[in-house]
Amino acid sequence: MKKKQFIILAAVAASLLAVYLGVSIYSDWKAEKEAEKEAAELQVTDIDSQDIVKLSYTDGEESFSFTKEDDDTWYYDGDDQLPLDQSTVTNALDSYSDLSGTRKLKNADVDEAYGLDSPAYTIAMEDSEGNVTEINIGDMTGEEYYITADGGETVYTAASTITSYMVFDVNSLVQYETFPTIYETIFDKIVVTQGGVTLLDYDAESEEESEDSENDSDSSEDESSDEESLTEIYAGEVGSIYFDDCVDYRADEDELAQYGLDGSSRKEVTVTYEDTAEDETATVTFHMGNVTEEDDSTYVYIRLADSNMVYKVNADDMENLLAL
């Protein structure tokens, strides 16, 4: 009898569990479908960014546009020689081609009420078939903007970060060159010349050998310490160079002269170091020009040899090389 009751209770429990699991699965499915429906309702644009060949945007005063060529490289239409940072365009397209709003407004039929009759910003994307999608950004409401992508028929709100992908400064579009990371343990040699005159020719390895020889023949510890510090000094100053402020991305001969980077004025610096990534000896040559003061800071103009891109670098970090 007890066994029969147990079987009945087990069957009831199994049935209840099945019902519970069924309800749970259905609830999850329903919630997922509702989330998909809500996401679809908030979808402002849905374009394959790879199909877009033109991007433009304006804030009503300034306008910037970009075109993708057959090699999938983007160019700034205002200057196709500008070394464009490709991520400036691709990051913008990733956002604008798959854009979602935070709210969808109902019965939004008066553009004037949202600033969409005279947008603060307009973004246009054109695909290879000539189809154009235009996003208009109107007034702000709190921390969000009113936006539309169908001429005002549907109005959404979007996070204020929607405008952060639009760059209105030409210099901020530039893809900077990179300067190798050089530090004491991989630093080998530095040669500095100016106008054909050698100002410095320092070989860290030969100095170390010289120090060892001097130490073997009763050289003082102070001399050894001084020689070691030269490697630290020069490696430290070269290692401080970092390109993050381009003042001219296409300087001609006259402009190079103004920066003190013409052949007769500049200091040419060649550094030999160990490239640990490639496991080989490498060299980098750069030019140092005039020193300039801006906002209580002192900078020196620098460019890589054979480059027309000019950068500002903190001069305080390079005082020994500048003093040569």
Instruction: For residue 136, give both structure tokens.
Output: 């208009």
CA distance 156 to 149: 9
Q: Which domain holds residue 220?
A: 184-322
CB atoms inside a 10 Å sphere around CB 85: 17
Enter the pTM of the model: 0.75
pLDDT at 106 (0 to 100): 80
Q: For the purposes of burial, counting CB atoms within 10 Å of the CB of 269, is it exposed (0-12), middle (13-18) or buried (19 or more)? A: buried
Q: Are residues 188 and 207 in the same domain?
A: yes
CATH code assigned at 310: 2.60.40
Domain count, the chain: 2
CA distance 165 to 150: 21
Instruction: Report whether pLDDT(33) > 70.
Output: no
141: enclosing H helix or E strand: strand 132-141
End position of a domain, from candidates 118, 153, 173: 173
Residue 219 domain flag: yes
pLDDT digits (tens, 9 = 90+) for 106-124: 876 666 789 999 999 999 9
End position of a domain, from candidates 141, 173, 205: 173
Instruction: Report whether pLDDT(151) > 50.
Output: yes
Instruction: For residue 87, give both structure tokens.
Output: 């991520």
Instruction: For residue 304, give both structure tokens.
Output: 């890589």
Residue 13 domain flag: no
Closest CA relative to residue 135, chosen from 120, 126, 123, 143: 123
pLDDT digits (tens, 9 = 90+) for 66-85: 999 999 999 999 999 999 99
Helix (H, G, I), strand (E, B) or coil at 209: helix
Q: Are residues 74 and 157 in the same domain?
A: yes
CB 320 within 8 A of CB 234: yes
